[in-house]
Amino acid sequence: MSANPNVPPPAPRQPRVLACVLCQHRKIKCDRNTPCSNCVKANVTCTPSTPAPARKRRRPNQDLQERLARCEALLKQYAGAGPPPTAASASQSPTTPFKDMADSPEPWNSQFSDFEKVPTTGKMIQSEGGSRFYESQLWTKFHEELQAMRHIVDTEDPEESSVLGTEGMTPDNNGDFIIPGDRSSQSGELQHPDPVQTFRLWQIFLDRVNPLTKVIHVPTLQPYIIEATTDPSNVPLHYQALLFAVYLMATLSLSDAECHQLLGSSQALALQRFSSATRTALLRFDYLRKYDMAALQALVLFMIFLQGRYDRHAAWVISGTIVRIAQKMGYHRDGELLKLTPFETEMRRRIWWQILMQDTKLAITSGLSHSSVQDNFDTKPPQNLNDADLYPGSSEPVHSREGPTEMAFILVMNRLSVFMISDSNRAGFESAVLGGGPNEDGNATFDPALLEKYKGVARELDADLREIERRYIDESAGAAHAAALNVRSMLVEKLHEMLRPMCEQPEWGTEIFSPKDNLFKTVLINNEHNTEMYERMAGFGFLWFVKLHFQLDVFAVLAGQLCRRPTGTLSDRGWTVVEKHYKWLPELFDLSQKAHASQAQFTLKAWKAREKAYAQLGQLLPTPAYIERLRECISTPDRSSTATSATPPASSMQGQQPMGDVDNSFLGGYMDMPTMSWDMWGDSYSTASLGNPNQPLSAAFFGSYGMNQMGNPSGDMH
């Protein structure tokens, strides 16, 4: 259609007059004349500005659009609109944990048949917070799409790359909700020990702590130790947390006199200093959202330190956080299945099995008969290797050594862990140990077949430990080897004693007449093994390890029963145990602690009953030195000043805050000793409950016994 000749053509569009360069620079109004008035006043040349080039119109990125569509589809599937995506690996039948260990030289393969089947699928995903493990294929695909979309945006529009944001939904760090700390200290500078103290603490850690934990790789961590002595600010936060955890554990292994000599302060103050620094470094690192092996190692060491210091129920809850972090990092899946390097695979095994040991132990002492961790992992036990056999970045596979290595003590502990994380073993031993009372006809109520079955399990455990000793342990190879050789003999002896039926006990009919009497002897046996291990481990420098597992409530039960049993052979053995406890645990004399003061009252009351019984027999009973000292402490108004020669109360948090800024109200008192009643034990320990492995008392009792199998060679009943 032709244009109307009567309509005049549109006037040409006048070009837009822009402000001159000077006015634009000074950000003032320009009259757009040539020259403008502002330039005339300034007596400068008025230079007109040129328009900016037209912005190139972006065309939609087809690849990005397709990925967005796939994300929408995945979200719909997650919401239930369709089945989750499948993968070839998902159709594979689940594998039994440890099935690949059939070719392993370790002598405990038969124990893994009791574990439930678990899937071995999953993938490690690199993200801003570190490597994360995704077992859900839906979330794996979703994360991969997001990562690809972020890469597209970063490549084509770097200035707008923040449109996808980061994975964190909020900048708040809530780590102090799990590990309480003093917020005021989190803004201050982390105070490392001086260079001489640093190297001394590092050497003490290597001598006394590392052989019994093995969660660090010494050649990898040592350069950070050296860097910390020159410029600690150059050490990354997660490694600073690990270094402070090392200082903390080294200090824990010192006596109070050694601590004064090395650090110039009491052990209690030094522990407060390093525990606070460890927590602060972890919080600054944001350990709940940033996942790194060094931070996890620091958490594991910190969890070991907390044993006996926190309420045991609260400690189990905190342990659950560490378990979840480890699972988020995929530590419950063996590194070989995830195609990781041999170094990372082996270190992950060491760390995971230490976490498994600690969590199972804390679950048992918290009164739980089951730990959910044990149902869903396929991480193999660590191999018999020295740290020098592992090289970061190496792709060459490593093979377990024959002969002694640095892993001697850990091999023994891991074999005991395998025994303990089997519910069938623990429940069966519980029923076998708690059985044995006579019924109305005078016949034994225990099942002889059941008892014999678990005697066989004990013999199998003994045989496996002997094989480990034969192949991997040499007493001349160091203190850790000598300590490892002490575990089996005491453990097997204890198992045999506890599996002996009540009616076959030497004291049957003279001092043992009922399940209550038999339980008292069981408590006594545990305390005897505990004090015996104190004596043995002290010679190796590992006394700290045994003392971690001391439970004051069990010691109180022993003292409470001695009130009712002032004489007899079992009573004599009990008082020998009490004296040894006060010898090896001098912090019990610090009666500023409520629990220690209550225990002192129990002990003195029991001793008074013993003195009275001997007086009625016409015998004079000499008063031991520790009883005289307890009486002096009780009669002294200022109890805290009485225990001048006692080690500061580093093994309990009741009544004060030895870790400094931890709010003890968060933890709660772990026991109320004045309300403890042996009648409660007796009622729960009735023959009617012997067949129920889920009975609260039996679970707590056998759990404490079971904990000795895992990480407490002392025989301490918790």
Q: Which two tokens stand for residue 616?
A: 């009625």
Q: 3-state secondary structure string, 76-129?
A: HHHCCCCCCCCCHHHHCCCECCCHHHHHCCCCCHHHHHHCCCECCCCEEEEECC
Q: Residue 372's pLDDT is what? A: 64
Q: List, in sequence order, the alpha helices (H) in 255-341.
A: 256-263, 267-285, 293-306, 312-328
Q: Which two tokens stand for residue 578?
A: 């009490």
Q: Residue 303's pLDDT is what? A: 93
Q: Which two tokens stand for residue 410?
A: 């850990």
Distance CA 529, CA 515 (A): 21
Q: Residue 146's pLDDT is what? A: 56
The β-bridge partners of 349 are none
Distance CA 21, CA 48 (A): 6
Mean pLDDT of successive 10-residue stretches along the chain, which has 718 residues? 62 74 85 86 85 63 66 64 43 38 45 44 56 52 55 53 43 51 58 95 97 96 96 94 97 94 94 94 91 95 87 84 92 92 96 92 73 77 96 91 95 88 56 50 59 83 93 93 90 80 85 85 87 90 90 85 91 94 91 88 93 92 93 71 39 34 32 35 33 33 34 33
Q: Which two tokens stand for residue 597?
A: 């003061």
Distance CA 541, CA 208 (A): 6
Q: Which two tokens stand for residue 176?
A: 């102090």
Q: Residue 117's pLDDT is what? A: 43
Position 182, amino acid: D
**Dihedral sign of CA atoms 567, 571, 576, 580 in order:** negative
Whether 687 contacts 695, CB under 8 Å: no
Distance CA 112, CA 109 (A): 6
* Cβ burial, residue 541 (10 Å; 0-12/13-18/19+): middle
Q: Which two tokens stand for residue 486?
A: 């002490």
Helix (H, G, I), strand (E, B) or coil at 512: strand
Whether 248 contacts 254, CB under 8 Å: no
User: Hey, where are the domains in the chain?
Assistant: 17-48, 63-88+121-169, 183-303, 307-400, 408-710
Closest CA to 483 of 261, 260, 212: 212
Q: Residue 229's pLDDT is what? A: 94
Closest CA to 46 of 70, 79, 22: 22
Distance CA 284, CA 241 (A): 9
CA distances from 675 to 309, 553, 679, 685 (A): 21, 11, 11, 18
CATH code matching the domain that covers 17-48, chosen among 4.10.240.10, 1.20.1730.10, 2.160.20.10, 3.40.50.300: 4.10.240.10
Q: Which two tokens stand for residue 489?
A: 């003999």
Q: Residue 112's pLDDT is what? A: 43
The β-bridge partners of 508 are 512
Position 640, amino acid: S
Q: Residue 179's pLDDT is what? A: 62
Distance CA 535, CA 490 (A): 13
**Dihedral sign of CA atoms 412, 417, 418, 422 in order:** positive
Q: Residue 651's pLDDT is what? A: 36
Does the pTM exceed 0.75?
A: no
Q: Residue 308's pLDDT is what? A: 74
